[in-house]
Structure 1
Amino acid sequence: MVAFYIIVIIILLAIIWQDFKERAVYWFFFPVLIILVIIKDSYVGNLPFEEYFVNLSFIGLQVSVLHNYYYIKKRRLVKMESYLGLGDVLFFIFLGFLFSPITFLVFQLSSLLLILLYLLFLKNNRNIPLAGCQSIILIIIILINPFTQETLFNSDEILIHYLTRIYE
């Protein structure tokens, strides 16, 4: 399991480097990451195809809503690359395979909010290195994970438990 996380962190560091430097990421990183997640899940004995489907459906909905927003705003079809890069969508898909559904939604929403806050302090926010920024957040989670009692990736029950304890 340690080897899995080391390989994932190395690939995420490459994504960060490329996204911040060139605002583009090699596409082949993402199938490698997805295959690694599937191998890890099958090694653990848990291939949650239903969870993959739920997360990928949410990603499809998210991209569709964004595309429709730009269609309505510009009153014409706009190329997706002008507002969301292919690397960003492929990174979302990788996250969909990595996380369970509720954990995926929490990660996606909280990371996007953190990136939005980060951008408020920048003057030039024309191009957002979204995959790179989310990779930084994911590396932090991967490094924190060994110090928790539970895994942070496939644990909707644990997340629900912690969220309900907040409101007690």
Structure 2
Amino acid sequence: MVYQDFKYRGIYWWLFPLLWVEVTCYGAFQFGWGLVFNLGGLNGLFILFQVFVLSLYISLKNRKPTNIFQGFFGLGDLLFLLCAAFAFSVTYFIVFYILSLLFAIGITLLLKLSAKERLDKVPLAGYQALMLM
């Protein structure tokens, strides 16, 4: 996922269900199915709330309803976060989420300063997958 997102700014869709199965089964064998689905659901609601707030903010900024998945936030980024939601408890997920966003911002700023070309898209899922590893 890291390589694909960095190289092509996109990830094969079928990798997301595989990742979800992997993290869900790993957590279920460690802590039980019920806890994994409860925590994944709470983390998923947190992510959906974040996407809603981002969508509302961009729509208000543009003064018209805006689909954030067209140029602002990638569907792959959302799918990766929803998969990662099943890998952590709520507290650890929020820590992972914040640290991975800070990591992505830091690396992007460094690349922007050193690059001669304009960087149009940030491979957020790739940076977050790198942090997850």
Query: In which range does the TM-score fall when normalised by the shorter chain?
Result: 0.7 to 0.9
1:128-150 Cα deviation digits (max 9, x unpaired):
000011111111xxxxxxxxxxx
- Counterpart Cα distance in 2 of 1:41 and 1:120: 34
What is the aligned residue count? 125
CA shift, 1:125, in A, is 3.4
The 3 A distance-change label for structure 1 pair 38 and 75 is same
Residue pairs, 1:27-42, within 5 angstroms:
27-42=13-28
Provide the residue aligned with 1:164 in structure 2: none
Q: Please identify runs of 4+ aligned residues in structure 1 that moved more than 3 A.
A: none
TM-score, length of structure 1 as denominator length: 0.70
Aligned with residue 102 of structure 1, among 72, 91, 97: 91
TM-score, length of structure 2 as denominator length: 0.87
Aligned residues: percent identity?
37
Which structure exhibits the higher relative contact order, with contacts defined as CA atoms closer than 8 Å and separated by 6 or more residues?
2
Q: Which runs of 5+ in 1 are unaligned?
A: 1-14, 140-168
Q: Name the stretch that deviates more: 44-53 or 110-119.
A: 44-53
Provide the residue aligned with 2:64 in structure 1: 76
The answer to whether residue 5 in structure 2 is matched with residue 19 in structure 1 is: yes
Q: Which runs of 5+ in 2 are unaligned?
A: 113-117
Q: From the CA coordinates, give the structure whose radius of gyration is larger.
A: 1
Provide the residue aligned with 1:136 in structure 2: 130
- Counterpart Cα distance in 2 of 1:125 and 1:34: 30
CA RMSD of aligned residues (A): 1.3
